[in-house]
């Protein structure tokens, strides 16, 4: 006889994905329990920048999913009832240092426009008019006027708060030790606080999703690994920049690493990503390193990214860095998230593997998972993100 269920849905992971899914499910009337081994927003969403940009998305299905997700942001602050510091008009720039980078970005932009987004190439004068602090020795930039930014910690906590108001329960400091399976179907989880049962179990554990999927009961070979991202934060300064800026190498390393000849940059995945936060500080990144769960900052990476920042924004030479930190990007072999139910373990759903696009894709991920769990389908085409594609 099946144990009485504790909730309609159990979610493993109290990060931005888990909280977004919890909110969508709870406001639709489902009973939800979120399990988090540390605290809410203690993973990737608490250790990242807040870029919400079209121009950093892989052309094709990833971009289409981003369009659906980013269009949800203007209403989120109203719906969630909390300040998430969303700016839809910040714009996104990717300066090119030479004609080769210009050509590669032009090819990327052409493919990205197929999703109906205003992404175009602009020359030096226009780029520097948009961002006067930008170095004038660039040849131009990829530009997206509607890219934005958000405070990822505020957004995660707002999702959690809204989910709680709709009845969701959050159990923090709770370790999940096994997936409970009955007659071939996931029916709950075993935790440090006992067993809990539900109709569906969602793996939203981010960079730790593979470890969750490998737990006794499930034992699924999920190919999600962490990529370390190192960032620096400066002291607050006066208004410095409006756009979020990534150098051309950001997209080139992300989409076409074979075109990068500098092996040092490639091994670190080092490029520039920079934005100014609401309090005036600059967040400067970033790296994409396959070093497991090694969390420390390296002098090599910090030197590279701060030099890249000063190369494009010389005035930053006079600004002090006040701290460094790291975060992990949950990465799949093809760079796309795993979304949906695992066919070999009905009742067990994946919502992880978003790499560096997690903040931007969080709203639509919550909606998609809620639709799949409650309705059995979603109106969006998510075939490219099929959770079973690696089996």
DSSP letters spanning 306-365 = HHHHHHH-GGGGGS-EEEEEEEEEEE-TTS--EEEE-TTSTTEEEEE--GGGHHHHHHHH
Residue 213 corresponds to which tokens in the numbers above? Answer: 């999927």
- The whole-angstrom separation of Cα 97 and Cα 102 is 8
- Asked if residue 179 lies in contact with residue 215, where contact means CB atoms within 8 angstroms, the answer is yes
Which pLDDT score, from 0 to 100, does residue 3 have?
A: 66
Q: Parallel, antiparallel, or unpaired for β 225-234 and 282-285?
A: antiparallel
Residue 101 corresponds to which tokens in the numbers above? Answer: 């980078």
Which pLDDT score, from 0 to 100, does residue 261 have?
A: 87
Residue 385 corresponds to which tokens in the numbers above? Answer: 């993100």
Q: How far is CA 256 from CA 11, 105, 139, 266, 267, in A?
A: 34, 11, 20, 11, 14
- The whole-angstrom separation of Cα 343 and Cα 348 is 8
Q: What angle do CA 61, 66, 70 make, to 5 degrees?
A: 160
User: Where does the chain show beta strands of DSSP type E?
Assistant: 7-12, 32-35, 51-52, 92-96, 120-123, 140-144, 148-149, 169-171, 176-182, 185-191, 194-203, 225-234, 244-246, 273-276, 282-285, 321-331, 338-341, 348-352
Q: What is the DSSP string of 249-310?
A: HHHHHHH-GGG---HHHHHHT---EEEE-TTSPEEEE---B--TT-----HHHHHHHHHHHH
Which pLDDT score, from 0 to 100, does residue 1 have?
A: 39
- Asked if residue 212 lies in contact with residue 205, where contact means CB atoms within 8 angstroms, the answer is yes
Q: Minimal CA–CA distance to 203: which of 293, 7, 68, 337?
A: 337
Separation of first and last alpha carbons in the chain: 31
Low pLDDT (below 70) residues in the chain = 1-3
Burial class from Cβ neighbours inside 10 Å (0-12, 13-18, 19+) for residue 286 reads buried
Interhelix angle 358-375/16-27, rounded to 10 degrees, is 40
Residue 236 corresponds to which tokens in the numbers above? Answer: 């607050």
Residue 73 corresponds to which tokens in the numbers above? Answer: 């942001």
Report whether the peptide linkage leading into residue 286 is cis, meaning its omega lies within 30 degrees of zero. Answer: yes
- Asked if residue 340 lies in contact with residue 176, where contact means CB atoms within 8 angstroms, the answer is no
Residue 60 corresponds to which tokens in the numbers above? Answer: 């094709």
Domains observed in the chain: 7-46+153-223+334-385 (3.50.50.60), 92-145+225-331 (3.30.9.10)
Model confidence over 164-214: pLDDT tens digits?
A: 999 999 999 999 999 999 999 999 999 999 999 999 999 999 999 999 999
């Amino acid at each position: 006889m099946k144990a009485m269920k504790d909730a309609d849905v159990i979610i493993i992971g109290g990060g931005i994905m888990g909280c977004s899914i919890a909110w969508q499910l709870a406001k639709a009337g489902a009973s939800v329990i979120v399990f988090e081994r540390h605290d809410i927003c203690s993973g990737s969403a608490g250790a990242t920048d807040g870029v919400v940009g079209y121009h950093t998305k892989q052309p094709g299905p990833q971009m289409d999913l981003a369009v659906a997700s980013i269009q949800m942001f203007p209403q989120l602050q109203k719906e969630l009832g909390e300040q998430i510091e969303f700016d839809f008009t910040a714009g996104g720039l990717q300066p090119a240092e030479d004609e080769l980078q210009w050509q590669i970005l032009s090819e990327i932009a052409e493919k990205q426009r197929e999703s109906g987004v205003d992404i175009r190439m602009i020359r030096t004068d226009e780029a520097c008019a948009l961002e006067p602090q930008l170095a004038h020795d660039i040849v131009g930039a990829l530009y997206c006027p509607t890219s934005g930014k958000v405070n990822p910690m505020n957004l995660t906590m707002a999702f959690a708060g809204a989910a709680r108001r709709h009845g969701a329960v959050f159990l923090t400091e709770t370790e999940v030790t096994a997936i409970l399976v009955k007659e071939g179907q996931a029916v709950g989880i075993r935790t440090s606080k006992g067993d809990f049962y539900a109709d569906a179990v969602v793996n939203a554990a981010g960079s730790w999703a593979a470890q969750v999927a490998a737990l006794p009961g499930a034992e699924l070979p999920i190919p999600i690994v962490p990529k370390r991202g190192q960032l620096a934060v400066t002291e607050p300064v006066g208004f410095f920049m409006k756009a979020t800026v990534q150098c051309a190498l950001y997209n080139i390393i992300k989409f076409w690493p074979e075109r990068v000849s500098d092996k040092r940059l490639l091994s670190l995945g080092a490029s520039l990503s920079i934005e100014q936060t609401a309090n005036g500080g600059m967040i400067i990144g970033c790296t994409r390193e396959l070093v497991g769960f090694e969390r420390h900052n390296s002098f090599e990476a910090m030197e590279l990214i701060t030099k890249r920042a000063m190369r494009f924004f010389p005035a930053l030479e006079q600004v002090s860095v006040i701290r460094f930190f790291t975060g992990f990007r949950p990465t799949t072999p093809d760079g796309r998230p795993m979304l949906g139910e695992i066919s070999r373990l009905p009742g067990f759903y994946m919502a992880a593997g978003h790499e560096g696009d997690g903040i931007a894709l969080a709203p639509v991920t919550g909606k998609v998972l809620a639709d799949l769990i409650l309705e059995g389908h979603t109106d969006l085409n998510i075939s490219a993100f099929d959770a079973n594609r690696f089996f």
